[in-house]
A and B are shown apart, each in its own frame.
Chain A
Amino acid sequence: MSFAHAVGGTRYSFPDLKTLLARATPLRSGDQLAGLAAGSAAERVAAQRAMADLPLRQFLSEAVIPYETDEVTRLILDRHDPLAFAPIAHLTVGGLRDWLLAEADGTCLAALRPGLTPEMVAAVSKLCRLQDLIAIAAKAQVTTRFRNTLGLPGTLSTRLQPNDPVDDPRGVAAAILDGLLLGAGDACIGINPATDNVDATCRLLELLDGVIQRFGIPTQSCVLAHVTTSLLAIQRGAPVDLVFQSIGGTEATNTSFGINLALLREAHEAALSLKRGENVMYFETGQGSALSAEAHHGVDQQTIEARAYAVAREFQPLLVNSVVGFIGPEYLYDGKQITRAGLEDHFCGKLLGLPMGVDVCYTNHAEADQDDMDALMTLLGAAGVTYIMGVPGADDVMLAYQSTSFHDALYLRATLNKRPAPEFESWLERMGLDEASRAGTLPLTPALLGLT
C-alpha cells in the first residue's frame, strides 16, 4: 500500500509501509548511511502526518519484512493477540499517541502488550517528542525476578560491570568491591569477557558465584559470552544464573550474531533446567546492528530495534538493555541523536513488556561527552528506566567506551528519589556500605576474593 501527504504545496509519496516509517523517523546518521532517511525536513513531517492517519490495522496486513523469509516477522505476527489489540483496534497511529498520553494507565498498558507489534510501537514513538516518550514510558511497569525483584515502582537498579582487559580475577574482584561499596549491582553483576572462551567463562562464573555466596548478596551473575559458550558452560556444570545474548530485529541480523530462535529456545530451556531463578535470560540490543550486518531489508534502524524486543519478550528475560551509544557515529552521530534513541528504545521496550534498561554510553569517535550522558540518564530516570550500567569511573577499560559510573547511579537515585531493589537495599544497609564509602573504609573482606 502506498501513502502520500502534501506539505507547503509539495506532495510527498511513500510506496510502502517500511518507506513511510523510515521517512517519518527523526534524523539520525544510520538511516542516512542506509539511504533511508527523509531528504528534507518537509518530507519528514509529511511522512509523520501520513503516518499519524494510518490505521493500526495496517500493521497486521503489511509486514515490513516478508513473513515467508524472516522468522522474526513470523514470531511477531504469529504471537499477535487480537483480543488484547481490541481496545485500540479502531485507532490510527496518531490516535494511539493521544490515547497513550491521555487514557492509558499501568494496568491497561500491561493488558495491551500482546496486542502491540513492534512496528506499531516504533511508529507511535516517531510521532513523540522526548517528553511524550518519558511520560508514556513512566506509566508502564514491568517487574521481573531472580534472587531479587526488579522494576518495582520507585526503584532504579544497576548492572555492576566489572570488566577487565585480560579477565584477571583480581581486577574483576576489585571492581566488584568498588561497585558494591557504592551501592551498585542489584540488576546483576555482569562481566563482558575479554575473550569468548569456555574455560575463561567458567572461571569468571565461579568467581561471581563465589562473591554472591560469600557475601550473601541478593543479586545474580552473568558472563556475557556468546550463547553457545554459555551452553557449553552449562554442560560443564558451571554456575550459570543468566544466559546472555546480543540479539537483533531481523533473521539475517541474528544469523550474523551466530544465533536463531531455535538456539535461543534451547539456551532458555537449558538455563531454566538449572532451577536457579525465574527469569533467566539477559539480552542486549542496539539501533544500527542490522545495518552493520547488512541485514536491514530497507527498514529504518529504530523500527528494527523495536523488532528485536519481540525476540526478547519471547523468552521472559530478567533484563534487556539497549547499548545505545556503543555502535558509533555512523549510526548515532552525536549526543542529540543518542539521547533521542535511548528514550525511544526504553519507550518501545517498556510498551512491549520488557524490563528495559539502557546502557547510557558513547565512544570516543562520537560527538558526545559526559554532559550528554548526564542529560540522557536523568531523562531516563524520569521515564522510569529499570536499570543503567555501573562501571568504575564510567570508564570501561576492556570495551574502551564510556558508560555510567557507580557515582552516576547514586546521583540519579538521590535526585529522583529512587531506591535499589528492596532485597538488595536491605543488604546494603546491613553491610553499612554507604557509610563505609563516605569514610573510605572497606568492610567487605577483600581476602575472601583472593585480594591479599
Chain B
Amino acid sequence: MTTPAPTPALWQDLRRYTTARVALGRAGNGLPTAAHLDFQEAHARARDAVWSALDLDRLEADCAPLGMPIHRVASQAEDRRHYLLRPDLGRRLREADATRLARSPTPGAFLIVVADGLCAEGVQANAPALLAALVPLLNAQRMAPGPIVLAQQARVALGDEIGEAMQAAMVAVLIGERPGLSATDSMGIYLTWGPRRGRRDAERNCLSNIRPGGLTPAEAAAKLAWLMQAAMARGGSGVALKDEAPSLGLLA
C-alpha cells in the first residue's frame, strides 16, 4: 500500500500534473539559472531535430509485416534548407515519381502516406505502431488500407498529388510535426477524402501530438479508423465532417 501524496500546498506540487514548464520559481522576475539553461538545452536539441532524416530502409522493414505494397517518392525540394524555404516544392511530386505511381493505380484505395515533414524522428518511431493498430480496425470495418507510400521532403499536401496519381478514394498522411522543446518525436495525421491537387486545409481532418506522453498510436488509430469510416459514409472530410467522434473511452 502506498501513502497517498499530500494535498498540494506548494507551488512545486503543480509539477505532478503536467509536463509543461510550471513551478519554475523566480529569480526576481526572471527565471532561476537552472530553469533558464534547461530551456536553452531543449531548444538546442529541437534545432538539431529539424535536420533529422527518414531511414527508409528501416521504415520499410518495420512496415513489411503489414503485407502492403510499399512505394518510395520524394518532393521537388532538393534538400532540407530548400524544403524549409520552399514549401510549395514540398507539395509537388518529382515528375518521375508521379509518372511511376500513375503506372500502378489503385482506384478507390485507402492510401497511407508516411512523410518526414518537419521532423523525421517522430514518424520513424510512431508510424509503424500506428499502422499495426490501424490495419485490424479497418479490416474489421471491411476497409482494408494500402498501399503505403514513403515520402521524403514532404508537406501534407503532397498526399493530394500522390492520391491523385494513384486514383485513391482517401489518403491519410502520417507526418512529422515541428519539434517542440518538450517533444522532438511528435507525429500528426491529416485525412483527406478524394485527394487531388488544390484541396484546401478545411477539407482535411487532423489528429496531432501522437507520441509517447501524448496521444498513443493505439488511441490515434481508433480515432483515425472512426474518421475514415465517417468520411467514407459522408463522402467528404474536413469541416464538412465535424469531428463528433465519441470520446476514446467509448470507442475502446
Contacts and interface: CB of A to CB of B under 8 A. Distances in A.
B244 A197 contact: yes
B221 to A, nearest CB: 15
Interface string A47-58: 000000000000
Interface stretch (B105-113, B132-140, B180-188): B180-188
Interface string B18-44: 111111111001110001000110110
Contacts of A232: 242
Contacts of A395: 20-21, 39, 42, 180-182
B204 to A, nearest CB: 10
A164 B178 contact: no
Contacts of B182: 395, 397
A402 B244 CA distance: 30
Interface stretch (A95-103, A209-217, A444-452): A444-452
Interface residues of B, number: 65
A290 B173 CA distance: 23
A364 B178 CA distance: 7
B213 A165 contact: yes
Contacts of A370: 39-40, 43
Interface string B39-60: 1101100110110000000000
B130 to A, nearest CB: 16
B202 A256 contact: yes
Interface string A157-176: 00000111110101101110
Interface stretch (A72-80, A111-119, A307-315, A434-442): A434-442
Contacts of A394: 21, 39
A407 B214 contact: no
B201 A401 contact: no
A229 interface: yes
B66 interface: no
B246 interface: yes
Given A364-B49, A407-B31, A33 B88 contact: yes
Contacts of A292: 87
Residue of B20, B23, B30, B214 most packed against chain A (CB within 10 A): B20
A141 interface: no
B14 interface: yes
A288 B50 CA distance: 21
B239 interface: yes
B238 interface: yes
Interface in B1-21: 7-21
B200 A255 contact: yes
Contact of A440 (B7, B11, B19, B178): B11
B11 A365 contact: no
A199 interface: yes
B181 A402 contact: yes
Chain A contact-residue range equals 35 or more
Contacts of A175: 18, 20, 22
A196 B29 contact: no
Nearest to A228: B239
B121 interface: no
B124 interface: no
Nearest to B81: A329
A327 to B, nearest CB: 10
B49 A194 contact: no
Contact of B14 (A178, A255, A363, A399): A178
Given A175-B20, A397-B20, A441-B9, A226 B239 contact: yes
Residue of B180, B208, B239, B245 most packed against chain A (CB within 10 A): B180
A397 B200 contact: no
B242 A228 contact: yes
B35 A393 contact: yes
A258 interface: yes
Given A196-B243, A364-B43, A370-B39, A397 B19 contact: yes
Interface of B: 7-26, 29-31, 35, 39-40, 42-43, 46-47, 49-50, 84-88, 118, 177-183, 186, 200-202, 206-209, 213-215, 223, 238-239, 242-247
Interface of A: 29, 33, 162-166, 168, 170-171, 173-175, 177-178, 181-182, 194-199, 226, 228-229, 232, 255-258, 292-293, 328-330, 333, 363-365, 369-370, 392-402, 405, 407, 410-411, 414, 436-438, 440-442, 446-447, 451-452
16 contacts: A33-B88, A163-B20, A164-B18, A166-B214, A171-B18, A174-B22, A363-B178, A393-B22, A397-B21, A397-B182, A436-B11, A440-B11, A440-B12, A442-B13, A442-B14, A446-B8
